[in-house]
Amino acid sequence: MQTIRRTASVPALDQYRALAQDATGDDIISTLNYALTLEHLENTFYATGLSTFVSADIEALGFLPGVFDFIAEIGAHEAAHVETLTSVISDLGGEPVEQGEYDFGDALTDPSVFIATAAALENTGVSAYTGAAQYLIENDDLLTAALTIHGVEARHAAYLNILNGENPFPESFEPVLTPAEVLEIAGPFVVSGEVVVPSASEEDAEDESEDESEDDEGTPD
């Protein structure tokens, strides 16, 4: 039986803290809380699903017994991400966003929908980290630390794509999702709780809105 790691290892947590120790500012904290918002969603999804289904439910879909263990390990990774991001945000003097209340619908009653939803969440998470990289670009160490999570999320997405009969690496370049686009996908799962986006992304949205307004004013009737 495969051993499932349930929490972040001490070296991994210490490494992340060391890389992030010089980070300051609201932009940094809000970006980390944006990541934590998504990790809470994923962590709750797996924790609830893995306590609802058993290996036999997954095997009944035609998968080998080990698939359930691998999904459980994905869940353990998400728990580790939550633990690490929460600790780092606190260490930097910020207030970590708390876990919300979520509704995953049929994903918690139908194992095939559970696996399909897992793939959707992981693929969204990968593109979310890609899109948020710009808000950490001025802090090389913290960007590197965030990429250590991004890479693992990409591995999750590839594996779950295979389980769903889809291409594990469908694009030459990873799609980029803005925080607004991510929330459009993930938002319907959120029943209550704070949803944090990078403060810099809100400024970008305001600038874009102002530019569009100026363009409209300059357009003749």
- Give the pLDDT of residue 208: 52
* Per-residue pLDDT at 201: 78
**The CATH number of domain 22-192, selected from 3.20.20.70, 1.20.1260.10, 3.40.710.10, 1.10.1380.10:** 1.20.1260.10
Q: Is the pTM of this model over 0.85?
A: no
Q: Supply the DSSP string of 163-206, one letter for each residue.
A: HTTS-SS--SS-----HHHHHHHHGGGEEES-----HHHHHHHH
CA 100 – CA 98 distance, rounded (Å): 6
pLDDT in the model for residue 1 = 38
Q: What is the pLDDT of residues 160-190, one digit of tens each?
A: 999 999 999 999 999 999 999 999 999 999 9
Q: Which pair of structure tokens corresponds to residue 105?
A: 């619908």
- Per-residue pLDDT, 27: 83
Alpha-carbon torsion angle 11, 17, 22, 26, nearest 10: 160
pLDDT under 70: residue ranges of the chain: 1-25, 202-221
**Residue 218, SS3 per DSSP:** coil
55: three-class secondary structure by DSSP: helix
Phi/psi of residue 192, nearest 5 degrees: -155, 165
- The values of phi and psi at residue 104, to 5°, are -100, 5
CA 7 to chain CA centroid, Å, is 17
Cα–Cα distance, 206 to 199 (Å, whole number): 11
Domain ranges of the chain: 22-192
